[in-house]
Structure 1
Amino acid sequence: MEIHIRPLNRSISVQSGANLLEALRDHQVPMSYSCMAGRCGTCRCKVVEGTVLAGSADSFQPGGSGDPYVLACQTFVTEPCTIEIPEPDEIVVHPARAIKASVVAIEDVTHDIKRLRLKPAKPLEFSPGQYAHLQFSPEHIRPYSMAGLCGDGEMEFHVRLVPQGRVTGFIASTLKVGDAVRVSGPLGSAYLRRKHAGPMLCVAGGTGLAPILSIVRGALAEGMGNPIHLYFGVRSPRDVYGLEWLQDLKRDYVDLHVHVVVASSNGQVQKGHRTGLVTEAIDADWGALKDWRAYLCGAPPMVEAASLLVKRKGIAAEQIYADAFYSSGT
């Protein structure tokens, strides 16, 4: 039985019931992966033709209802099929690990956002834009995106305090400098594509600024010269933070353009900042976005609205890298 691989235009022979990721690896097909357990989303690929068994779900066929994408590590091949893998020249393999870290600092950056800095006992390899699970106690675990790079020596996370939030309340009232934290990862497929040379649209909503900072810092560290247009959307003027970090990046990255957009200003918006929704600002600024890449990080409604907008403006779905911050389990 054969699997045809796009865009490589290559076929591989496998046995019925073979795990898709294992088959790709056995035949040296370039494929990103990390956790191997269906959690990180790194091995996401598209079923173009044929039927596969996607995890514990029923058989999946393209053209039916639902998402045409599957996770290769959780997918089993049941008949000849065609699979489209993402960007074979942009493979990242960071085997998921769990490491110990200690709290270095817990800093207020706004009225409801804290900057958490951890010192890992061992380095954790990750690509800019990925996230990890932080476990503060057996009952307090939540995913947060890294704001820095894996070579920084410290790990930085931005935590928005949620009213009655179990984990964020623990961070705000109980966690202290010196406490141990278990860090598990990396997770996520919304990481920096280093070989892309065209313009980049980076959209951050609230603490979605953390992974966007990581992506821009990664582009700077890699010596990339892509034009980067960063839109940072917040609810009100008091929710704006990180301006000094953005200014530092603008100084060092020549073609970085930062747009701060405040949804509700009440006449108090800072000079140079814009008012309205971040998607409205992008829509007003740009016509066609063909050959761009988009990185979208923040609350699900913003990520969904921005994704629909940039698709309409010409960015292909497979070139939109989104990380939606869900509030469940906070």
Structure 2
Amino acid sequence: MGFVVKIESSGHQFAVDAGETLLEAALRYGIGLPYGCRNGACGSCVATLLSGEVAYPDGDPEVELDNGQVVICQAHARSDLNLKVREISIDADLTIKTLPCRAEHLQRLSHDVMQVQLKLPEIERLQFLAGQYIEFILKDGRRRAFSIANAPHQDDYLELHIRHVPGGSFTGHVFDEMKDRALLRIEGPLGSFFLREDSQRPILMMAGGTGIAPLKGMIDHAQYIGLDRPMHLFWGVRALRDLYLNDEPGRWVETSSEFNYTPVLSDPEPSDQWQGKTGLVMDALLEAYPNIGDYDIYMSGPPVMIEAATPVFAQHGASLDHMYSDAFEFAKDVLDKIARDKKAEDPAQ
């Protein structure tokens, strides 16, 4: 038996079938709701339950919830529901596809980041919005999500930046075993993190590590379409060797007088001889822009960075309606393995 979900602000309604999450049902009806990791960890898809009952058949979500909040990527309806949630505009012509692909080219960008270029079948093109992501569907059914680093007009391939995660079987495979022309299976495009082209507000971007990947796609797309809004990218990494994009930031600055770039190192090596910004990337952004109420803010990187920055940015005037984030969360089985390995190293824990 199915149930009906109503969104309070818009009056939009959609039916939820047995066995599917609220998010899956909304996407099936073409209703744009915010989401990110789709495993209940990032908090992007939290909504307020005004009436009705939900359940979590796969276990409680990892994100902390206040009373009345639900995680729509994990929640299943147990009655008709009334939700309060921010809707987003998603191009109705975008179709989520499951496709075979080939790892056309692998290139190390740094000691722990691999660029993977995926080639789709000749008869296929994946329409996506700048900043969205795809998921690899592994042979055992598990999934791994990675942001698309190229712009939509560069549709001959999909560019991914994959960081090696100790204990991660998939990233280990990418670094140690995967060869050019390896066959893979993907689903996409996914996610509500994309460039809002219809806004007139200036843009601030904050990346942590490989969180630069979707922002690279956004910047390339913005410059391709001639977007003339001021844009400032802050990229935070640990040391100089982690700034793995060697040419792109300089090209962006040369292409547009409206574009600015600030790299930030949290723990530079003495050999780096670094004279630029140090510390937290969030602090560097706020030092340059103490009042950010008039900006669209895009954040991409580790969940801890985004969780720390969001309330602080709000205190500096940023509106939640104009803060967009993509939290890079490890898959649960990877986190479990890391925890087991750590416990094995220190049994007293």
1:282-321 superposed matches below 5 A: 282-321=285-324
Q: TM-score, normalised by structure 1?
A: 0.80
1:70 positional shift: 4.8
Whether 2:185 is the aligned partner of 1:186: answer no
Deviation at 1:150, TM superposition (A): 3.2
The residue type equivalent to 1:293 in the other structure is D
Q: Percent identity?
A: 24
Code of the residue aligned with 1:117 in structure 2: it is Q
Return the offset for 1:101: 1.2
Match for residue 145 of structure 1 among 144, 147, 168:
147
Query: Deviation at 1:215?
Result: 1.6
**Whole-Å separation in 2 of the counterparts to 1:11 and 1:158:** 37
Separation in 1 of the partners of 2:136 and 2:202?
Answer: 33
Going from structure 1 to structure 2, the CA distance change for 1:324 and 1:126 (only over 3 Å counts) comes to: same
User: 1:105 & 1:133 partners in 2: Cα distance?
Assistant: 18
Q: In the alignment, which residue of structure 2 is the partner of 1:262?
A: 265
Between the aligned partners of 2:319 and 2:34, the Cα distance in structure 1 is 24
Match of 1:112 in 2: 112
1:303 aligned partner, one-letter code: I
Distance verdict in 2 for CA 1:210–1:57, change over 3 Å: closer
Contact 1:45 1:83 (8 Å CA) reproduced: no
State the distance in 2 between where 1:69 and 1:191 align: 23
Matches within 5 A, 1:60-209: 65-66=66-67, 68=69, 70-71=71-72, 76=77, 78=79, 81=82, 83-87=84-88, 90-93=89-92, 94-121=94-121, 122-135=124-137, 137-138=139-140, 141-152=143-154, 153-209=156-212
Q: Secondary structure at the match of 1:102?
A: strand
Residue-by-residue CA offset, 1:138-166 (whole Å, 9 max, x unaligned): 47742111001233111100011122321
How big is the alpha-carbon RMSD for the aligned residues of Structure 1 and Structure 2? 3.8
Residue pair 1:128, 1:214 contacting (<8 A) in 2 also: yes
Distance 1:270 1:140, change over 3 A: farther
Gap change, CA 1:142 and 1:287, over 3 Å in 2: same
Select which of 227, 242, 247 maps to 1:244: 247
Range 108-117 or range 261-270, more displaced: 261-270
> What is the distance in 1 between the residues matched to 2:79 and 2:211?
39
User: What is the deviation of 1:315?
Assistant: 1.6
Q: Distance in 2 between matches of 1:181 and 1:11?
A: 37
Distance 1:209 1:184 in 2: 21
Q: What amino acid sits opposite 1:254 in the alignment?
A: S
Q: Distance in 2 between matches of 1:117 and 1:256?
A: 27
Report the counterpart of residue 210 of structure 1 in structure 2: 213
Q: Is the 8 A contact 2:26 2:33 kept in 1?
A: no
Q: Which runs of 4+ in 1 moved over 6 A?
A: 11-15, 19-26, 38-41
* 1:156–1:14 Cα change, 3 Å: closer
1:227 is matched by which residue type in structure 2? P
Residues paired across the two proteins, number: 315
Secondary structure of the structure 2 residue equivalent to 1:150:
coil
Residue number in structure 1 paired with 2:344: none
Q: Secondary structure at the match of 2:284?
A: helix
**How big is the shift at 1:21?**
7.7
Q: Distance in 2 between matches of 1:22 and 1:136?
A: 20
TM-score by length of 2: 0.76
Q: Write the deviation string for residues 66-87 of structure 1: whole angstroms up to 9, x where unpaired.
A: 5746538966595684634324
Q: Residue by residue, what CA displacement relative to the aligned partner does 1:172-213 show, whole Å, maximum 9, x if unpaired? A: 111111111111112222111111110212111111110111
Query: How many Å separate the matches in 2 of 1:196 and 1:306?
Result: 22
Amino acid of the residue matched to residue 148 of structure 2?
A: M
Q: Deviations over 1:114-139 (max 9, x none)?
A: 11111111211221111111246547
SS in 2 for 1:243: coil
Residue 5 of structure 2 contacts residue 81 of structure 2 at CA under 8 Å; is this kept in 1?
yes
**Distance in 1 between residues matched to 2:34 and 2:277, nearest whole Å:** 39
Query: 3-state SS of the aligned residue for 1:157?
Result: strand
Letter in 2 for 1:319: H
Paired AA for residue 99 in structure 1: L
Structure 2: state its 5+ residue gaps: 60-64, 335-349
Change in Cα spacing, 1:176 to 1:65, as seen in structure 2 (3 Å) is: same
| Aligned partner of residue 195 in structure 1, secondary structure | coil
**Hey, what's the Cα distance between the residues in 2 that align with 1:278 and 1:266?**
17
